[in-house]
Structure 1
Amino acid sequence: MSTRERRSILSTPIWFFMVIVFITQLDGGAVPTMLPSITRTFGLTTMGSSWVVGLYTLGLVVGTPITSNLSDAHGTRKVFLWELAFWFLGCLMTAVSPNYAVMLLGRFIQSLGDSGIMVLSMNVLLQRARRNNQGRKVSTVGIIAGLSAMVSPVLSGMLLGITHGWRAYYFMMLPFLAILFILAWFMMGDSQTDRAWKTDYLGLGSFSIALALLMVAITFLQYGTAYLALIIGCFLVTVVAGAVFLVHERNLGGSKETMPFLPIRLLKLPSYGLTLLLGTLGGMFFSLFVYIPTYVHSVFGLPVRSAGMVMVGVGLGSVVGSWLGGLLVDKFGYRTTLVFSSSLIGLMALVITLTLHNLQLFMVLSFLMGVGMGSMMSSPLQVIAGRLAGPENRMQAIGGLSACKKIGTTIAPLLFASAIELGKAGGQAGLASYRNMFLVVIVIALVNIGLTYCIPFSQKEVADD
């Protein structure tokens, strides 16, 4: 990023980025509420319904590293505007979609527009913050995203009740996105980098193919051997594309004309590799929330709609945890914050396994678990990645971390579903099934704590801005 662009971006008000984060993150909480209506509109099977969410996740995983690389190579403002344009186009296509295929295409385009918003906003906040205030600055994004996740089910539910259709939500989003695009055009100023970098198309293409097919293979693993040929084919192409990517990036490492898609120097750092692994495990924690309404419905007999309201407490906990995580990073450092958050998640999961039949206690424990997840995912990992990379590669570093979180959310359902299946009695999921699920959470928390102590934070590796 050039000095001129840095000054321009730093002069953009923080509230502008927070509004964009809030608007774009509404989708994550709205779609589960609208999914039954979408399923009825297009007459979808269970697998068809799952791709409404799954394809969006795939777009986020693939798009985030691409957005990060293009931002470092071509400037933040230009990429930010493209992100908002994709979001608008995706929403429009989804809103007017005459069939399932067009709706999925709209969802995918929308995900490409969403893929870089969080990362770009975090990068701007890291640039604006003093070193001893970076945790609290970055945690602001997590707080806003958490508030958005709490508001979106209520908002989408109200629109469903008024219009009796899911399309109204996407039509409502269009004017907001158009206004944000106009504001970004005038408020973000110039967008010029210090040098004219060429885009690493081979690295971008091979990495995207490898990651996309890996995600597809993991997704279809949930259906057992029914798609074995497809799964094997995806894994084979992933290996080939991954090998092409690694060889090409090594050869490109010293280029002064083309910016490597991912900085090999950064990937060689043990600290960054372990940070990516922690991000993947953190993404697994978030997948647990998908199963909580089902657990409450099955064990306590609450209606599905009422069971979903339990997530309000978890969401509130994640907002509190986001603020707390930023404070802990600035006051006590990354390691203490990560150990605290993982320990809190693991301890709450342990108590839940011992008190599965107590709904009131579960409400309190799930809130505290949300605090742990919010404090872990809001700022410590982002600050670590940003400092390891330094200003030149910060966007790519945070983008890689964000992609790993999404990979974790894709892998985890396999673990949780297997744990639930092992505990079934007479084909029905009961207390034993959900006890197994929370035991998996405890194991992940313990692994997190162990990995945190393994990260070799050295003065040489953690770069000053």
Structure 2
Amino acid sequence: MTHGPQELQSDGHLVLKSARGRWVLLATVLGSGLALLDSTVVNVALPDLGRELDADMAGLQWTINAYTLTLAGLILLGGSLGDRYGRRSVFLIGTVWFAVASALCGLAPNIEFLIGARALQGIGGALLTPGSLAIIQASFVRGDRPRAVGAWSGLGGVAAAIGPLLGGGLVQTVGWRWAFLINLPFALIVVLVTLRHVPESRDEQAAGRFDVLGSVLAALALAGITYGLIQEGAPVPLIAGLALGAAFVVTEIRRSPDALVPVGIFRNHVFTAVNVVTLIMYAAMGVVFFLLVVQLRVVSGFSATAAGMAMLPTSILMLLLSAKAGEVAKRYGPRWPMTIGILVAGAGFLWMSTIGFGASYPLQVLPAVTVFGLGLSAAVAPLTATVLATADERYAGTASGVNNAVARTGSLLAVAAVPPMVGLVGDAFREPAVFDAGFRLAMLISAGMMVVSALITVLTIRSNVLAADED
């Protein structure tokens, strides 16, 4: 196809406002949105699928964590595959894989089958998620990247936040299985748009062998730690997971520069710091997304649709404000937008701790999710832009993969560790009083994690890091 004079710059990069630029943004947003949507749409269906498939609290945790586990464990490999063989190609393979696994989830006859299918879904997500952001970084001119990342963050955040709303409507009308089957038509759109409009890109300097050992160690380490945290009285898997994690670090250092995670990428202390912030911030958010909708349904008595609609203000705010937050970060630096945004989101978690029996939507739920949405809108785009700005362009896929792996790992470990810590075990989701007490404490813990994230941000993130990226 031909391209207008405003679409491509002399260096071959796209302009965001061009027609093709908008198509590329649509494909990447919708593709990554599938993975984000599925990470939240399932939450509202948990009580229903738990009852139908006769699952306990651990089964519900594994329904969430089987997906997050393979996503976090393999997303680094997904980024590396894209850098080596083509980000567009790997993105397409991941989208198709994700769609097939979604169909298996929707057909699951028991909780064990569902957990296995969710693990397969995570593999698809690991292939498509880093590719979506790497395509943006490699496709657009430098000056448009912060704005493109802001739009990607905002629209992607909408997908994550709108998940409970969509899931609630599906659960209440056609059943929980459609929370998975709904992915199929969206995946088809992503494939068609990508084939027609998205340019191929890769790291032309990539060479050497793939770090298969590193990939295996990372996945096994996360699996052992997660199992040890979820299952009571299982110290051996936890210890084994920690040991495998240490072995992963040693292996990556020894295999550099052919490591799954090039050690040199962490020489930039801002890149390292922003990933620590990501780990803690997404750990807190993972707990909230896992427990809030269940709290509204089990304790507050909301219907599936009403519980899903509770997060709608967050969706709207992410859509309206995230791109602007990217512009603010580009002009003034990411430190203060991130710091303030994280603290405001933490204040929303504190407010959520007041949601209990007979909770009023306008007095308790709406203010809490609105404050959370304001904070999230301010923080996510600057955080993502900072991750990409502090890594070489040739490592776009790897940097994206690292940050996504860190985010999913934070959520994975927190969803595994916090519920048992606050007493949410066994059949807790069938006992409203028990669930309510655990939920309130979990929200306080999540708010505390956000304070820690904000403190690290203000102490370590430079204000001029995005300006340096344009030089």
Question: What TM-score comes out, normalization by structure 2 length?
Answer: 0.80
Deviation at 1:353, TM superposition (A): 6.5
Work out whether 1:197 is the aligned partner of 2:199.
Answer: no
CA distance in 2, matches of 1:45, 1:406: 23
Q: 1:216 to 1:140 in 2, by over 3 A?
A: farther
Shift of 1:389: 0.8
Cα distance in 1, alignment partners of residues 371 and 88 from structure 2:
38
1:452 aligns with 2:457: yes
Q: 1:27 corresponds to which residue?
A: 38
CA contact (8 A) 1:86 1:110 kept: yes
Match of 1:180 among 186, 190, 193: 190
Distance 1:179 1:199, change over 3 A: farther
Give percent identity, aligned residues only: 17
CA contact (8 A) 2:332 2:463 kept: no
Give deviations 1:328-354, integer Å, cap 9, x for gaps: 212321111112112323444556679
Kept in 2, the 8 Å contact 1:139–1:325? The answer is yes
The alpha carbon displacement at 1:65 in A equals: 1.0
Out of 107, 110, 115, the residue aligned to residue 104 of structure 1 is 115
1:396 aligns with 2:398: yes
Give the match for residue 376 of structure 2. 373
Structure 2: how far apart are the matches of 1:454 and 1:368?
Answer: 24
Inter-partner Cα distance in structure 1 for 2:74 and 2:388: 19
Q: Which among 212, 219, 231 is matched to residue 223 of structure 1?
A: 231
User: Quick one: which amino acid aligns to residue 194 of structure 2?
Assistant: A
Residues 215 and 407 in structure 1, CA contact (< 8 A), matched pair in contact too: no
Distance 1:413 1:375 in 2: 24
Of 245, 265, 285 in structure 1, the residue corresponding to residue 252 of structure 2 is 245
Q: Give the aligned residue type for 1:173.
A: N
Mark the runs of 5 or more structure 2 residues left unpaired by the alignment: 1-7, 425-431
Which residue of 2 is the match for residue 256 of structure 1?
none
> Shift of residue 23 of structure 1?
4.3
- Displacement of 1:50 in angstroms is 2.5
Specify the code of the residue in structure 1 equivalent to 2:198.
M
- SS at structure 2 position matched to 1:43: coil
1:90 corresponds to which of 76, 101, 108: 101
For structure 1, list consecutive stretches of 5 or more residues without a partner in the other structure: 254-258
1:25-424 mapped onto 2 (5 Å cutoff):
25-97=36-108, 100-128=111-139, 131=142, 133-164=144-175, 166=177, 168-190=178-200, 193-195=203-205, 197-200=207-210, 203-225=211-233, 227-249=234-256, 253=257, 259-287=258-286, 288-293=288-293, 295-296=295-296, 301-303=300-302, 305=304, 306-349=306-349, 359=360, 360-362=362-364, 363-377=366-380, 379-413=381-415, 416-417=418-419, 420-421=422-423
8 Å CA contact 2:79, 2:401 repeated in 1 = yes
Structure scoring higher RCO (CA < 8 A, sep ≥ 6) equals 2
Query: Any idea what SS the aligned residue of 1:135 has?
Result: helix
The Cα of 1:32 is off from its aligned counterpart by 2.1
Deviation at 1:297, TM superposition (A): 6.1
The one-letter amino acid of 1:302's match is: G
Contact 1:9 1:188 in 2 (8 A): no
- The alpha-carbon deviation at position 56 of structure 1 amounts to 0.4
The change in CA–CA distance for 1:351 and 1:52 in structure 2 (over 3 A counts) is closer
Q: Which has the higher mean CA deviation after the structures are superposed, 235-244 or 434-443?
A: 434-443
CA contact 1:146–1:316 (8 Å) conserved in 2: no
Contact kept in structure 2, 1:135 and 1:325, CA below 8 Å: no
Separation in 2, partners of 1:437, 1:192: 42
State the superposition RMSD in angstroms: 3.8
TM-score under structure 1 length normalisation: 0.81
- Tell me the amino acid that sits aligned with residue 278 of structure 1: V
Residue type of the alignment partner of 1:221: L
| Structure 1 residue 399: Cα displacement | 1.3
The 1:140/1:189 distance shift into structure 2, 3 A limit, reads closer
